[in-house]
Amino acid sequence: MKKFCIGTFIVTAALILAVGCLTSGDVTLEVLNPRGEIELPPVSAPGARITDLTGKKIGLYWNEKQGGNHFWNGIEQLLKQKLPETKVLRYSGAFDLGDELAAKIAKETDAFLYGVGD
């Protein structure tokens, strides 16, 4: 019985102390950061612009999402009106252009407009 009383006293004292700490002082949680480390590629600037598009070839890329063809038809028409000396080349394909088609477009054009339909 005595042992029980001492035990009870210790537990009660510990509780009072704990509650005292929680209510009167600081409670500090040290929490770990859930974010994954990201290795970003080196920053690069976009390609140099062409100040005069006269006589240049502009590629239009569309990823074949429905309706995008109509939009790019309009862009082509307006480009030809605005820059009659400019040639427009149309391309379409996958969401990710891929190296092969990118190389082809780069070879055949001087500048490009790129849209994914969203």
Q: How many chain residues touch another protein (CB under 8 A)?
A: 72
Q: Which of residues 96-115 bind another protein (CB under 8 A)?
A: 96-99, 101-103, 105-106, 109-115
Beta carbon of residue 12, minimum distance to another protein (angstroms, whole number): 19
Residue 95 binds another protein, judged by CB under 8 A: yes
Q: Which of residues 48-77 bind another protein (CB under 8 A)?
A: 48-53, 58-59, 61, 63-68, 70-71, 73-75, 77
Q: Which residue has the tokens 């862009």?
A: 75
Beta carbon of residue 17, minimum distance to another protein (angstroms, whole number): 14
Q: Which of 90, 85, 116, 117 is nearest to 104 (CA)?
A: 90
Distances (CA, A) of 12 to 18, 19, 48: 10, 10, 75
Residue 89 binds another protein, judged by CB under 8 A: no
Residue 40 binds another protein, judged by CB under 8 A: yes
Residue 44 binds another protein, judged by CB under 8 A: yes
Q: Which residue has the tokens 């062409």?
A: 50
Q: Which of 59, 47, 46, 51 is nearest to 115 (CA)?
A: 59
- Token pair for residue 63? 């990823």
